[in-house]
Each structure stands twice: as C-alpha cells, then as structure tokens.
Structure 1
Amino acid sequence: MIQRLAIFCGSSAGNNPIYKEEAYQVGKLMAKKGIEVIYGGGKVGLMGVVADAALEHGGKVIGVIPEKLMEWEVGHDGLTELHIVKTMHERKAMMADLSDGFVALPGGIGTMEEIIEVFTWHQIGYHNKPCAFLNTSGYYNKFFSFIEHSVSEGFLSQQQCDELIIEETFEKLLVRMG
C-alpha cells in the first residue's frame, strides 16, 4: 500500500492552466487519502502547488532540496519536514528511500531525468516500486511515442514498457499503483 509517494514535476507552472489545476488536485487527493507527499522541496511552480494543496488539506509534505537551491531562495519553508542535502544525487536517493512509488506530473528536463532514473533503477532491480506518469492533457504523448520506438528498435523490452503506469487522471493512477 502506498503511504508516501514521490512527486516529480515542474519548477514552473507551464503555459496551460490545466497543469496547475491538476497539480492542486494531486496534492489535495494525496492529503485526503493520507498519502504523504515526498518532493523536491520547492515553493515555486507545480512543485509548490502540489505541496501547498496537500498542506492546505491537512496532508504531510516532506521536501528534499539541495543547498544550492536553498541559496536561490526557492525552498518551501512551510513543510512538515524539509531535508537540505548537498547534491542532486543525494536528493534523488533520499526521495527514493522515503517513497513507496514515483509519479511524474508535467515538467521539464529535471522531471524527466528524475522519473527515468528511478525507472532505470526499477529495471535493474534496485527497487520494486511503481513508476508512473500523470499524462495531463496528453503532455507526455510524444515521450510515449519515443518509448514505443525504443521497444520496436529493441532497446527496451515490451515487458519493461508495460511496467510503466500511465494515466490521465490521478485517481486512476493511484488505483493502478496499489
């Protein structure tokens, strides 16, 4: 059962208002279901929206942020817990250790790097936690085309591909994650 879920998402809100709306619903639903948010510790962008929504609805939010980002004053100061680490590597390792699963909301290169790294760890047996994409308004459709191309070209097995959880609503995604 999922008690803590790592959320990877943008440090900006993006151009489509639906991303911010969905991020708010993710934080709210996690709080209502008693699932703790584990995330990158920022107060900006979709990261801040998820954290604020969870806190607003009585949820617990644990942030893990590198010192450098704290120096840039983007760290959230109202969290249940905030861990300040030295590097991004330490951040990702701690988030993985604290979490029962991983979800990518819309975001940029950092978001992609984080979810792909934990999916890679899953592939090679470092963990057996679910990895998922919340495909809000088809945000990740082009990426999924690349994944399918990787399968057809023999660089990713269909079995590994099928282990990714992809949903357009967070409610359905949570059901599939267990």
Structure 2
Amino acid sequence: MYNQDANKGQKTLLGKSGEPVMPLSDVCLSFGCGDDGVSVSEQQQLCAIRDKGRDDYQDKMKELGIDYILSPAYVSVAPKQERVKYWGYTNLWNILDFPNVVFPTGLTCDSGLDAPDKDYKPRNDVEKYEYGLYDDASEFKGAPISLQLTGRRWFDEEVVKASQVIHEIITA
C-alpha cells in the first residue's frame, strides 16, 4: 500500500532534494511491490482491504468503548541509529489513517534488568534481524523507552492531549 505507484511519488520528491537516497530509505522503498507497482485493479483491491480494516477497527473500538490504544512503539528500547528495518508497530496506524503519537516515557533501559533473552527463537528473518539489534544490553544503557497512543479517526487533537496526560503521569 505504501508503494503501489512503483515509488514514483516518493522518488520524485526525493529526487527534488538533490540528495542521495539513504540506505534505510532504499529498504523502505523495496517493501511490498517495490518499484514494480500494482495495476489499477490491484490498487482498488488494496484500498478495499484498507477501508475494511479501518471500518473494523473503528467499529470494534466503538463497540468496546475504547477511545485510545496504548502500545509499544518498537520491539525494544530506542534502537541503534540507521539500523531499523521494521516499522510494523507504527505503520498500521498510518495505513488506517488513525491519529497516533509516539512519545518518550521518561523510562530508560537498565542493562542489568533488560538483558536480551538468549532463549528467544525468532519466527522469521525480520524478527531475527530486529531482535539481533539488541544483542548487548550494555550498549543500550540509558536508551529511552517510548510508547505510542492511537485514537479514533478524526480525533487528532484529543490524541495529542491524551498522550501529554499519559506522559505527565508516567514521569511524575
């Protein structure tokens, strides 16, 4: 869904900058169909899937009386720079067009408490790579821990305010 136009929109904008495309941008541009794009029929199918998912989430939140979803922003603490290739914790909300705020909790990695689980068995190559980035807790001592808050569609300002309230409570 991000690159159904064969990355034409993104590459046009990136080209205007005159700067080289960074390696992680290349990774992002390669996901899904990459530079192949999709047909108009496939694009319509993807939009229908997105719209159904959006409706399902909104209906379930309304049914259960849920105003906000508080969840992790990433699989770990703040990751090593220029290494992360997975954004699955945040991209769902972008696809569904739900307002979302990622914010620091004020908590940080304690390398004595937050050692990697050596018995962890990744389910796929993506998990293996991302989990492997957190290989030595001492390298992450003091790294910030963030959360994300997602709200109902069209309630952007409320999500920002609610994230500020949560941040104040956590850091008090």
Q: TM-score range by the shorter chain?
A: under 0.3
Name whichever structure is richer in strand by fraction. 1
TM-score of the two chains, using structure 2 as the length reference? 0.24
Larger radius of gyration: 2
TM-score, normalised with respect to structure 1 = 0.23
Q: Greater relative contact order: 1 or 2 (C-alpha under 8 angstroms, separation 6 or more)?
A: 2
